[in-house]
Amino acid sequence: MPDVRFRRDRNATSGTQALRRSPRRATCSFDRSEADVKTTKELLLERVTEHAALGRTLKGGKFMAKTISFCQGKGNINHNNRKFVTPNVDKDRIPWDVKYVTESVEEAYEKCFGQALEEYNSKQKREDRKKKSYLEEIKKSKNGEHVFYEDIVQIGTMNDTPVIDENGELTEEAMKAIEVLDEYAKSFQERNPNLYLFNCVLHLDEKTPHLHLDYIPVAEGYSKGLSRRNSISKALQCMGIPKAVSKKENEESLWKNREREYIKELCSERGIEIEELGIKRENYSLPEYREAMAAVDELKAEAETIEESVNDTKKRLEDYAEKEKLLHKAAKKADKEMQDLCKDVTSHTSLLSGTEYVKVPKGTWDKIMEYCRQGLIAEKWNALFEDTIGKVRNALEEKAQALTNKLMEVEAELDKVFRFIKDQGMMSQYEEYARPKTMKEKLDIAKEKAKELSEKNKNRNGNILKKITDKSR
């Protein structure tokens, strides 16, 4: 990794605005032996990406227009805060990350709903109607609420807004994006009072600067039950977002559109041009079209494989968690049995020596000895198991996060290819490729065309006959 250092600009108004490149330049060499050989699919996707960038490149060698990415994240707080690191993270650049707020979910729920929970419980006369933990209630809820939500905000792509250049230095394009993301993060809570931001991190250790915003929706105004609750739709309505009119035009989509417009304003203030993705139309040959279709199928298959791996990894994590619960349950049972055995033990003191002895029935003594033997064995196995399961859990969590990131990348590429196909006017060809017509459907189409042709010929013959008749008269 090239050596990159930062210095503070005294005239800067914020932490991220104060980041400037050090005059010390880094050296970087390129080894052709390690260069990747791109596949046909990669070259095709690269061409699609190039077309998506037409009209927003090159003025003095710089990108003129960029895109805004505002998508839902997976909400892995440990990954966001770099408690564990995935392969796509540059460990040397982790200190560059900016942490705006890092609060635990438990603390956040206490701040958001603690008072409402206390008020609710104070009104309950029966103990069984009191709520012990609102957080646990949401975790077990089947009404669709999430414990918290995460959005990932990014300006540009790795092609037009890379964090570092070939010398390992922070790029000018990245600095502009950082200023926008910094202001957006700092103003998020003020603009969204009903979305409690408990974790927010700006990542500069990956390919493109981006924000992870984790928040809890806080809805108010309930007359029954808790006066404040976790509800994303109600929380957004409290902030003036209109009620949903359809599945597509719901509160979340309307709010995200509003946030995108605000980001556009921040970009405009800094001279960053934003445009909607579009692809310039051109004529493509049949082989290129077939390769596009094959790329779609390949990406779909890759996405399905990754999704299966993610689900499998999550299942294994759940299995380990279940085994841990069983172990704790067995330990509690063993403790109770030992306490019951001790009830049969009596003690007395020798009159001659004054030594204290215990008197145990033979059956109880045999059970105690058996428990001791099993306990020594279990202690050794338990220590080995806890060490192993800890390592396995960490490895599985890292694998799950890496697979999730890969899945998001594949889905993004798949979306590009579909937009490419749609903008080229090839959707009908793609549908024919994806679901070829059966012989019966082809025959029905042929019959319909033959019927139409017969009708045309009949009308034409009738017109000719009419003209001949008129002339004969």
**Shared domain check, 253 and 333:** no
**Shared domain check, 169 and 238:** yes
How far is residue 199's CA from residue 101's CA, in Å, rounded to a whole number?
A: 5
What rounded mean pLDDT belongs to the chain? 76
Residue 426 falls within a domain, yes or no?
yes
Residue 208 falls within a domain, yes or no?
yes
Asked whether the beta carbons of 83 and 222 are under 8 A apart, the reply is no
Q: pLDDT class for 446, splitting at 50, 70, 90? A: confident
Domain boundary among the residues 278, 296, 325 is at 278
**Shared domain check, 95 and 200:** yes
CATH of residue 236's domain is 3.30.930
How far is residue 98's CA from residue 108's CA, in Å, rounded to a whole number?
A: 20
Query: Residue 49 pLDDT more than 60?
Result: no
Residue 71 falls within a domain, yes or no?
yes
Domain boundary among the residues 278, 300, 323 is at 278
pLDDT tens digits along 72-98: 888 889 989 998 888 888 999 999 999
**Shared domain check, 142 and 101:** yes
- pTM recorded for the entire structure: 0.52
How far is residue 337's CA from residue 271's CA, in Å, rounded to a whole number?
A: 73
Residue 22 falls within a domain, yes or no?
no
Asked whether the beta carbons of 200 and 187 are under 8 A apart, the reply is no
pLDDT value of position 103 = 95
How far is residue 57's CA from residue 228's CA, in Å, rounded to a whole number?
A: 49
Query: Residue 52 pLDDT more than 70?
Result: no
Kindly write down the DSSP assignment for every residue of 159-176, as one continuous string.
TTS-SB-TTSPBPHHHHH
**Shared domain check, 319 and 221:** no
- Pairing label, strands 273-274, 65-66: parallel
pLDDT value of position 312 = 67
**Shared domain check, 178 and 133:** yes
- What percent of the chain stands above pLDDT 90? 30
**Shared domain check, 104 and 121:** yes
Structural domain including 68 reads 55-278
Residue 241 falls within a domain, yes or no?
yes
Residue 283 tokens, joined: 């004529």
Residue 381 falls within a domain, yes or no?
yes
Q: pLDDT class for 374, splitting at 50, 70, 90? A: confident
Residue 48 falls within a domain, yes or no?
no
pLDDT tens digits along 117-175: 999 999 888 888 889 899 999 998 888 889 999 999 999 888 888 999 999 899 999 99
pLDDT tens digits along 264-306: 999 999 988 886 543 333 444 555 555 555 556 566 556 666 6
Domain count, the chain: 3
**Shared domain check, 332 and 253:** no
The mean pLDDT value for 239-261 works out to: 89
Asked whether the beta carbons of 218 and 122 are under 8 A apart, the reply is no
**Shared domain check, 107 and 65:** yes
How far is residue 212's CA from residue 70's CA, in Å, rounded to a whole number?
A: 10
**Shared domain check, 269 and 124:** yes
**Shared domain check, 347 and 203:** no
Residue 349 falls within a domain, yes or no?
yes
pLDDT value of position 172 = 92
**Shared domain check, 136 and 74:** yes
Asked whether the beta carbons of 347 and 358 are under 8 A apart, the reply is yes
Q: pLDDT class for 308, splitting at 50, 70, 90? A: low
